[in-house]
Structures are given as structure tokens and as C-alpha cells.
Amino acid sequence: MILFVELLVLALVMLSIILVVGIPVTLASPGQWEKSKKLIYTSIGIWVGLIIITGVINSFIV
């Protein structure tokens, strides 16, 4: 169970790094926002889901 939480945290950290770099680059590039809007919103939804899932599963570990 602890290994699963650690993998969730690793996925959360990796996705956070990708979003911290990717969103400003996308917003600064001309015309990229219209092309990448759906991908960015999906990535943010996955990020929020990972936070909620990690918190819920972590609450079961004593």
C-alpha cells in the first residue's frame, strides 16, 4: 500500500513539473493556446484527481 502511495506521489510530482514548464510555454507561444487548450485542461483535471486520490489513499495508511 505504501508503494502505491509513493507511485502516486511520483506521478503527481512528474505531472506537476510538466505542467509548470508546459503551461507558460504554451501561453507564450503565438497560436498554441487554441491548439493545446483541451490537452491542458485534461492535464489539470488529472492533476487534481491525483491529489484527491493520493489524499484519500494516504488517509488509510496508519
pLDDT in tens, 2-55: 899 999 999 999 999 999 999 999 999 998 889 999 999 999 999 999 999 999
Sequence-ordered alpha helix ranges (H) in the chain: 2-28, 32-59
Q: What is the pLDDT at residue 12?
A: 96
Q: What is the pLDDT of residue 33?
A: 87
pTM exceeds 0.75 for this model: yes
pLDDT computed for residue 62 by the predictor: 73
Cell numbers placing 29: 507561444
Phi and psi at residue 37, to the nearest 5°: -60, -45
The pLDDT of residue 1: 85
